[in-house]
């Protein structure tokens, strides 16, 4: 396994093509707007080095028998699925941000079972290719970026009917030794912090969309891959050099628009190419795994937000007020409900034909449906407890100013035992989680990450077996 320092060094050896704020970034690792997101991924390596976290952060590869980072592991039991959720909660607690690596973990588990089933039915060679890639991933301890979401253009039209055929990623040429692909993937979490990309189709395809039914792996810095870095609220505060106004100065997340400009992919790294009948299964399984993930990572970040709200109440001198205690209890209740859903869909997991365990899809979608709601209420209560000063604070430069700094110190103090700076720090942390750059990894991503609320409701309707429930009711009522 790589150490945290080795991971950072490995990124420095890569040749990413990244545009940020209209400029080409020469050194993504040390760019002040990107560096905090790299630190979050780095934590997935750092915790794996600690003996006390070994059971959560590492696993034994069923392919090599070696100890590997759990983010490179295929789930071999429901216990593995449970450990995954607990690991993600731990990382959320440690970073209070999106640590980005779970997308690749969810992708490899989905691709493993689906390629096995394609080969079994059609006699293809995709699963062997994928296993070879996975072995390299485990041996090198790569961070792999799971890439599913296409720009989509007109959502009312199928891929082949779009005015611009590139609005869904597609194969444009088949050669003797590989394929050439063109298009883009949007909202690519952690793409610039990843060694490899694992690309999947974004929707269930029909025969006319066969060219869009693609799954393959490619280096994140391959020639033909362009990253356009996404804006986040308050992100340029990271360029100011301070430590207070950013809220969470050490950790963060990022997304890119990832463009494929006639990228060549050798067949050894192609795991689906035209087998449209299996695209829906791959989307469904990846989405299920990723919706399970939110029962861990969002809960860990929620733990930090609840703690920050409790600190704000103390610093404001209202911690003993009954309505404050009640609001904190409600935040805890909602957060633990999300965790319960993540654990439940994991505990009810079962093996696929390849031996990789799949979560209970109904419960995973229930988990994510709750995630689209509860973090918003947790955030609302945190903002309520924090008070309006959270969004009207003067800047850190004002606090440090030789003339007006003492005035800020005097008039923005809370309880006497707590400095104004400490009060400002916790309020800025709440602002960051509720409204700032971390909101992408907590609040807004809770709504749209791993699919919008309607996507989960569609899956809940499919998985719920309403006919069986009606049969139960008829039996009890004595009907027929």
Closest CA to 103 of 11, 196, 229: 196
What is the count of structural domains for the chain? Answer: 2
Alpha helices in 321-401 (DSSP H): 322-347, 361-371, 374-386, 396-400
Looking at the structure, tell me whether residues 426 and 442 fall in a common domain.
yes
Which active-site residues does the annotation give? 98, 102, 189, 255, 290, 294, 297, 445
Distances (CA, A) of 303 to 297, 379, 439: 10, 12, 14
Looking at the structure, tell me whether residues 269 and 387 fall in a common domain.
no
Pairing of strands 178-189, 170-174: antiparallel
Looking at the structure, tell me whether residues 211 and 333 fall in a common domain.
no
The vertex-125 CA angle with 121 and 131, nearest 5°, equals 110
Whole-angstrom Cα distance, residue 141 to residue 132?
14
Whole-angstrom Cα distance, residue 60 to residue 40?
24
Find out whether 319 and 273 touch, Cβ atoms under 8 Å: no
The tens place of each residue's pLDDT in the chain, 480 residues long, gives 999 999 999 999 999 999 999 999 999 999 999 999 999 999 999 999 999 999 999 999 999 999 999 999 999 999 999 999 999 999 999 999 999 999 999 999 999 999 999 999 999 999 999 999 999 999 999 999 999 999 999 999 999 999 999 999 999 999 999 999 999 999 999 999 999 999 999 999 999 999 999 999 999 999 999 999 999 999 999 999 999 999 999 999 999 999 999 999 999 999 999 999 999 999 999 999 999 999 999 999 999 999 999 999 999 999 999 999 999 999 999 999 999 999 999 999 999 999 999 999 999 999 999 999 999 999 999 999 999 999 999 999 999 999 999 999 999 999 999 999 999 999 999 999 999 888 788 988 899 999 989 999 999 999 999 999 999 999 999 998
Looking at the structure, tell me whether residues 217 and 337 fall in a common domain.
no
Find out whether 193 and 178 touch, Cβ atoms under 8 Å: no
Find out whether 19 and 228 touch, Cβ atoms under 8 Å: yes
Domain boundary among 280, 307, 322: 280
- Kindly tell me the burial class for residue 279, based on how many C-beta atoms sit within 10 Å of its own C-beta (0-12, 13-18, 19 or more): buried
- Enclosing domain of residue 52: 4-280
Looking at the structure, tell me whether residues 348 and 393 fall in a common domain.
yes
Beta carbons within 10 angstroms of residue 208's beta carbon? 12
Report yes or no on 86 lying in a domain: yes
Q: Find where tokens 């600690």 sit.
A: 50
Looking at the structure, tell me whether residues 242 and 322 fall in a common domain.
no
Closest CA to 253 of 190, 333, 180, 315: 190
């Amino acid at each position: 396994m790589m150490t945290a320092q080795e991971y950072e060094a490995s990124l420095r050896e890569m040749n990413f093509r990244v545009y940020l704020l209209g400029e080409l970034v020469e050194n993504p690792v040390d760019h002040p707007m990107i560096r905090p997101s790299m630190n979050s991924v780095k934590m997935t390596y750092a915790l794996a080095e600690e003996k006390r976290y070994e059971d959560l952060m590492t696993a034994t590869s069923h392919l090599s028998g070696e100890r590997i980072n759990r983010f490179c592991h295929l789930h071999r039991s429901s216990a593995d699925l449970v450990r995954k959720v607990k690991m993600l909660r731990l990382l959320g607690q440690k970073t209070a941000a999106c640590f980005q690596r779970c997308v690749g973990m969810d992708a490899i588990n989905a691709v493993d079972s689906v390629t096995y089933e394609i080969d079994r039915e059609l006699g293809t060679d995709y699963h062997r290719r994928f296993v070879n890639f996975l072995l390299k991933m485990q041996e090198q301890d790569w961070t792999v970026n799971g890439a599913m979401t296409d720009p989509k253009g007109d959502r009312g039209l199928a891929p082949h009917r779009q005015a611009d055929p590139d609005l869904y990623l597609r194969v444009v040429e088949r050669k003797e030794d590989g394929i050439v692909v063109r298009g883009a993937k949007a909202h690519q979490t952690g793409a610039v912090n990843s060694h490899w990309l694992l690309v999947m189709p974004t929707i269930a395809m029909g025969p006319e969309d066969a060219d869009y039914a693609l799954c393959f792996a490619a280096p994140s810095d391959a020639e033909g891959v362009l990253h356009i870095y996404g804006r986040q609220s308050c992100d340029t505060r990271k360029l100011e050099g301070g430590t207070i106004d950013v809220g969470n100065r050490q950790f963060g997340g990022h997304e890119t628009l990832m463009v494929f400009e006639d990228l060549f992919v050798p067949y050894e790294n192609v795991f689906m190419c035209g087998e449209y009948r299996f695209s829906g299964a791959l989307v469904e399984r990846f989405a299920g795994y990723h919706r399970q993930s939110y029962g861990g990572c969002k809960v860990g970040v929620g733990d930090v937000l609840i703690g920050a709200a409790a600190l704000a109440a103390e610093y404001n001198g209202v911690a003993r007020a009954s309505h404050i205690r009640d609001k904190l209890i409600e935040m805890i209740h909602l957060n633990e409900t999300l965790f319960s859903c993540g654990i439940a869909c994991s505990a009810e997991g079962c093996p696929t034909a390849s031996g990789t365990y799949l979560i209970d899809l109904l419960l995973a979608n229930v988990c994510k449906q709750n995630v689209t709601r509860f973090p918003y209420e947790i955030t609302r209560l945190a903002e309520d407890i924090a008070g309006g000063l959270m969004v009207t604070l003067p800047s850190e430069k004002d606090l440090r100013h030789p003339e007006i700094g003492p005035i800020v110190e005097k008039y923005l103090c809370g309880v006497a035992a707590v400095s104004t700076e400490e009060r400002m720090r916790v309020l800025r942390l709440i602002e960051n989680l509720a409204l700032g750059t971390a909101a992408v990894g907590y609040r807004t991503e809770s709504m749209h990450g791993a699919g919008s609320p309607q996507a989960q409701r569609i899956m809940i309707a499919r998985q719920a077996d309403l006919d069986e429930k009606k049969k139960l009711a008829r039996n009890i009522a004595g009907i027929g």
